[in-house]
């Protein structure tokens, strides 16, 4: 199994480019099911989760191809098998995003229940309740969701989510795009990835308004057509590289990302004393964000909440920053009940963190020390990479397949910024560091 080895203590400096967002790309790929015409994607990241979604579509009979430039073609005109099998869903919960599109296009779907998840229970009851309100008949048996639409076509409905759900909003928005009549989604997710999906569906011919607010109105149409879609920047990846610059005492710029995707995160960085500069895209340059600090950051408190609040997907990375900030910080996780698995690992590196239910109190120390640690989930793994960059000595992170689910070429991008990082793949040992970088 691969591991990542980091020699910490080197300031990271320079510029990297944000990749396309995994969490935007996944629903966009599922949306291809809604049309029998080809859909073309740009800025598709090369990630394990994307491969899983592509395999899922191919398994249903779709014709899928991807080139090295991140351009993907999906043609679902040949799809005949409206199923998402356990073998694929168990590796990626977001596979459930195909449920709404399959029901809307074929009137039936068989999708494995995702099962347990490291960061919490993560049920999909709100997805199912919403589809039932739109006329689907759903049975959950033998670990599968078996759904049919007796009327042949879903109908519009007014659906109020009990809790904000990102993929729930996306699933129902896609289902409603081809339903008969108007669907209103109340208490909908406002994440930029939801807006990227709504924009994409509109360019396929859907009639959607209100995305980006808590009330989304979808007026169903009889068919959608093919389109050229572009995945938005990965705000979580971009923020992770900005945090890498700060935690290592460096100065990092991330290009091709809009600062307004990261308002809450950047506001907390400014509160912590970071100098944040942003640039908007113009005819001569891309949009960019630059972060640096003079001296140690100050501790600040955060509480995760749905967009536009502080993203739960950045909680672990922010905690790594707070481990070496001056003072003590209170970090409250309100989205997932078990999203503190990185705490034990950070403690192995010397971090002083006290956990009490959904709250962590982090007392910043001068320096972390390198240690062998284990990646437990995607974003927890990113926090260990950050801690490793700041730590004195060597950090070896095992189970990095979690990182590969969501960070494209992470060692290469960090190496480009001057990190001393390499991946140890059994049988090969690829060293990625600048020529001048001493070990
Ligand atoms: C998405 C993101 C994930 C992010 C999360 C929260 C994708 C592919 N993944 O996950 O990176 O961490 O949003 O921003 O976009 N819930 C229910 N019932 C449901 C659905 C959700 O109780 O039917 C609960 C969940 O357990 C959780 C909360 O609602 O406590 C929010 O989860 P949700 O927004 O649905 O997360 P995902 O869409 O799975």
Question: Mean pLDDT, the chain, as a whole number?
Answer: 93
Distance separating alpha carbons of residues 390 and 188, to the nearest angstrom: 38
Decide whether any atom of ligand 1 lies within 6 Å of the 125 Cβ.
yes
Question: Would the CB of 336 count as within 6 Å of ligand 1?
Answer: yes
171-222 pLDDT per residue, tens: 999 999 999 999 999 999 999 999 999 999 999 999 999 999 999 999 999 9
From ligand 1's centre to the CA of 327, what distance in Å? 32
Answer whether 95 contacts ligand 1 (Cβ < 6 A).
no
331: Cβ–Cβ under 8 A, 6 or more apart, which residues?
A: 301, 302, 303, 315, 318, 319, 322, 359, 360, 361, 362
pTM of the model: 0.95
- Would the CB of 124 count as within 6 Å of ligand 1? yes
Q: Which residue's CA is the closest to the ligand 1 atom numbered 1?
A: 166
Contact 413, 4 (CB under 8 A): no
Indicate whether 431 pLDDT > 60.
no
Check whether 154 has a pLDDT greater than 70. yes
Nearest protein CA to atom 15 of ligand 1, as residue: 23
Quick count: other Cβ atoms within 10 Å of Cβ 416?
18
Q: Which two tokens stand for residue 251?
A: 């100065």
Instruction: Round to whole Å and give the CA distance between 319 and 265.
Output: 12
pLDDT (average), residues 116-142: 86
Non-local CB neighbours of 75 within 8 Å, separated by 6+ positions: 32, 37, 38, 39, 62, 63, 64
The confidence score (pLDDT) of residue 149 equals 97
Whether residue 117 lies in the annotated active site: yes
Question: Token digits for 101?
Answer: 């599109």
In angstroms, what is the span from residue 166 Cα to ligand 1's centroid?
A: 6
What is the token pair recorded at 49? 């989760």
Residue with token string 């709404």:
100
What pLDDT, in 10s, does the model give residues 50-75?
A: 999 999 999 999 999 988 787 999 99
Nearest CA to ligand 1 atom 24: 122
Q: What is the C-alpha to C-alpha distance for residues 352 and 349, in angstroms, rounded to an integer?
A: 9
pLDDT confidence bin for 427, thresholds 50/70/90:
low
Write the CB contacts of 222 (distance below 8 Å, at least 6 apart in sequence).
178
Residue range 100-117, pLDDT digits in tens: 999 999 999 999 988 655
End-to-end CA distance of the chain: 23
CA atoms within 13 A on the CB side of 326: 8
CA 428 to centroid of ligand 1, rounded, Å: 37
Mean pLDDT of 128-132: 97
- Altogether, the residues listed in the chain come to a count of 439
The C-alpha angle with vertex 229 and arms to 223 and 235, in degrees rounded to 5, equals 130
Beta bridge partners of 73: 40, 65
Q: Which atom of ligand 1 is nearest to the CA of 170?
A: 38
Question: Cα of 167 to ligand 1 centre, how many Å?
Answer: 6
Binding site membership of 123 for ligand 1 (Cβ less than 6 Å): yes
CA 283-287-290 angle, to 5 degrees, is 135
Output the CA 168–ligand 1 centroid distance in Å.
8
- Tell which atom from ligand 1 comes closest to the C-alpha of 335: 30
As given in the structure block, the two tokens for residue 219 are 């007026």
| Pairwise pLDDT comparison (433 vs 175), residue with the higher score | 175
Residue identified by tokens 């060692």 is 411
Q: Which of 117, 219, 291, 323 is the catalytic position?
A: 117
Any atom of ligand 1 within 6 Å of the Cβ of 235? no
Ligand 1 close to Cβ of residue 52 (< 6 A): no
167 within ligand 1 shell (Cβ under 6 A): yes
């Amino acid at each position: 199994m691969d591991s990542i080895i980091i020699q910490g203590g080197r300031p990271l400096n320079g510029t990297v480019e944000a990749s396309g967002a995994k969490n935007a790309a996944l629903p966009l790929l599922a949306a291809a099911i809604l049309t029998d015409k080809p859909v073309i994607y740009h800025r598709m990241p090369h990630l394990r989760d994307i491969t899983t979604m592509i395999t899922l579509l191919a398994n249903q009979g779709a014709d899928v191809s991807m080139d090295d430039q991140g351009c993907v073609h999906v043609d679902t005109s040949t799809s005949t098998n409206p199923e998402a099998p356990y073998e694929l869903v168990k590796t990626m919960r977001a596979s459930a995003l195909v449920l709404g599109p399959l029901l809307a296009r074929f009137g039936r779907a068989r999708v494995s229940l995702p099962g347990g998840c490291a960061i919490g229970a993560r049920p999909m009851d709100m997805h199912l309740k919403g589809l039932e309100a739109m006329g689907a008949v759903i049975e959950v048996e033998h670990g599968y969701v078996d759904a049919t639409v007796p009327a042949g076509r879903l109908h519009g409905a007014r659906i109020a989510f009990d809790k904000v759900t990102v993929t729930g909003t996306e699933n129902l928005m896609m289902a409603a795009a081809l339903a008969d009549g108007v669907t209103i989604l109340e208490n909908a997710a406002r994440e930029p990835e939801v807006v990227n999906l709504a924009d994409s569906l509109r360019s396929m011919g859907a009639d959607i308004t209100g995305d980006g607010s808590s009330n989304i109105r979808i007026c169903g149409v009889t068919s959608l057509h093919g389109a050229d879609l572009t995945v938005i920047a990965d705000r979580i990846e971009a923020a992770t590289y900005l945090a890498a610059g700060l935690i290592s005492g460096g100065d990092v710029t991330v290009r091709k990302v809009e600062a307004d995707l990261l308002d809450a995160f950047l506001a907390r960085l400014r509160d912590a004393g970071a100098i944040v500069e942003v640039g908007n895209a113009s005819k001569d340059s891309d949009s960019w964000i630059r972060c640096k600090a003079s001296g140690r950051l100050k501790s600040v408190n955060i509480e995760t909440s749905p967009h536009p609040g502080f993203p739960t997907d950045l909680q672990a990375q922010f905690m790594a920053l707070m481990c070496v900030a001056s003072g003590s910080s209170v970090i409250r996780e309100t989205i997932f009940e078990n999203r503190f698995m990185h705490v034990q690992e950070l403690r192995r590196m010397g971090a002083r963190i006290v956990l009490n239910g959904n709250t962590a109190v982090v007392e910043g120390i001068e320096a972390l020390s390198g240690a062998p640690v284990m990646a437990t989930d995607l974003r927890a793994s990113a926090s260990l990479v950050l801690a490793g960059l700041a730590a004195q000595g060597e950090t070896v992170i095992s189970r990095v397949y979690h990182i590969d689910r969501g960070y494209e070429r992470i060692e290469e991008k960090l190496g480009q910024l001057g990190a001393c990082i390499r991946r140890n793949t059994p049988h090969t040992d690829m060293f990625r560091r600048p020529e001048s970088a001493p070990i």
